[in-house]
Amino acid sequence: MERIGKYELAAMIILFEVGSSSLFQLGAKANRDAWISMLLAFAAGLLLLGMFLYINGQEGRRNFADTLRRHFGRWLGTLVAAAYSLYFAYESMRNVRDFGDLMATTFLTNTPISFIMLVLILLSGYAVYKGVEVFFRTVGILLPLVGFSYILLIVLFFASDVLRTDRILPVLEDGIAPVLKAVPSIVMFPFGQMVVFLIFWQFAQDKSFVPKVSICAYLVTGTILTILNVCNIMILGAPLAGISSLPLLHAVRMMTIGAFMGRIDAFVVMLLFLALFVKATLWYLSSVVVLGQLAKRTDHRAFVAPAGVLIYFASFLEPNYIYHIWIGIEVSTLRIFPWFQIALPAALLLIIAVKKRRSKR
């Protein structure tokens, strides 16, 4: 049986959550108050995390597909688990496409995107083939590198005089309404994506450390993301941060320290690549693991290739990056994600709670 340690779990949560979120200006609709929306969504996400952790706590070592089957009944449970697997594959495909387009706009402008994505999916497929334990340990190795880089980046932002505090003033100019409007989509992306750990918590070496480690790691990511969000606005100003397709990259490019340190954007692109790889792979892995659980096989490896092919070809469905982003923001985040991140877990929680009450009586 594969097992995950404390540190590996924390590392995965941090890399996964920071992941592709630093690509976008989250809460751009709230303009210069985006960071407030961010904090509110962060708090709401904490509630969701509590819900996921509660469900996990009740189920011991039972795997996710079995949990669903047990509470939703055999047929409905299987259907829901299959839907989750598909949802995870979709999320993975989104990250693969993000990766492809990021590469194509920054570094490899002449390389066909199909090739870039092929390399990524092969690499991800290899990690998924190796299984949960190996992938979590890989991320454990990557975390110091990525963590150090992000901290360095934030320090450099403060060291070079690009931060202008007056760019986030006045706070709440148009009242709280626009800020609240931006919250739901941030809850779904990235905070609600913690739902993926419903699959992986059962692999923890000792289940007692799961809640504490998960919440701590979640707090760390929320802080990093909020700081980066504020930095983006203070460097670019809300209008530019809003129109930029890669705000963090733009912000970094504005920075020069002295006359010699500039152009560290290559370094940031590398950071984004790493984060996207981790994210795409974890979604891919979770999709495959759920399929394995549905088939009642301990070995999920048979599903690596079919899922990989599906993800790879699905990533070509969208005609362009604009459409990809549009569908992500307008359709997926608000119409599809809530089902998997809120509605289904809430239904599960309700059933578990009712059953528990009955059995007590």
Partner 1 sequence: MKRAGQMLFALFGLFVLGGCWNRVELNELSVIMGTAIDVEDNQWLTTFQVIIPQAIASQTVGGGGVSQSPISVFSTKGDSLAQAIQKISLESSRTPFFAHNRILIISEKAAREKGVSQIVDFYLRDGESRETVDVVLSKGPAKSILEVLNPQEKIPANAIDRIFYETETQLSFARRIKLSEFAAMLVTPALSAVAPEIRISGEREHRQSIDELAQTRQKAVLKIGDIGVFRKDKLAAWLSRDESIGIAWLSDRIENSVISFPCSDEEPESRRSTFLVDRSRTKITPVITSDTIKIKAAIDAHGTLDETGCNVNLSKPESIKLMEGQIKKQIERDIALSWKRAQALKTDIFGFGDKVHIHYPRKWKQLEQQWFDKLPDIELVSDLRVSIRRTGMINDSFSSKVKE
Residues at the interface with partner 1 (CB under 8 A): 105-112, 115, 119, 166, 169-170, 173, 236-237, 239-240, 244, 250, 253-254, 256, 262-263
Nearer to partner 1, 17 or 33 (CB): 33
Instruction: Give least dist CB 263 to partner 1, A.
Output: 7
Name which of 7 and 115 has its Cβ closer to partner 1: 115
CB of 177 to partner 1, least distance (A): 15
Q: How far is the CB of 170 from partner 1 (least distance, A)?
A: 4
Closer to partner 1 by Cβ: residue 102 or 348? 102
Closest CB to partner 1 among residues 105, 149: 105
User: What distance in Å separates the CA atoms of residue 87 and residue 91, rounded to the nearest whole number?
Assistant: 6
**Cβ nearer to partner 1, comparing 117 with 139:** 117
Tell me the closest approach of the beta carbon of residue 51 to partner 1, in angstroms.
37
Q: Which amino acid is at 355?
A: K
Q: Where are the alpha helices (DSSP H) in the chain?
A: 6-18, 34-59, 64-72, 74-106, 113-130, 132-159, 177-188, 197-200, 210-236, 238-243, 247-253, 265-294, 304-314, 321-326, 337-338, 344-360
Q: Please state the φ and ψ torsions of residue 248, each to the nearest 5 degrees.
A: -60, -40
Cβ distance 26 to 186 under 8 Å?
A: yes
Which of 12, 9, 6, 18 has the alpha carbon at shortest distance from 282? 12
Close Cβ partners of 250 (under 8 Å, ≥ 6 residues apart): 236, 240, 241, 244
Q: How far is the CB of 231 from partner 1 (least distance, A)?
A: 14
Query: Which residue type, as a one-letter code, is found at position 289?
Result: V
Q: Which is nearer to partner 1, 73 or 112 (CB)?
A: 112
Q: What is d(CA 89, CA 290) in angstroms, rounded to the nearest whole number? A: 11
- Total residues found in the chain within this entry: 361
Taking the complex as a whole, how short is the minimal distance between the CB of residue 1 and partner 1, in angstroms?
27
Q: Which two tokens stand for residue 123?
A: 């690499």
Closer Cβ to partner 1, 178 or 192, answer by number? 178
- Nearest-approach distance from CB 315 to partner 1, in angstroms: 17
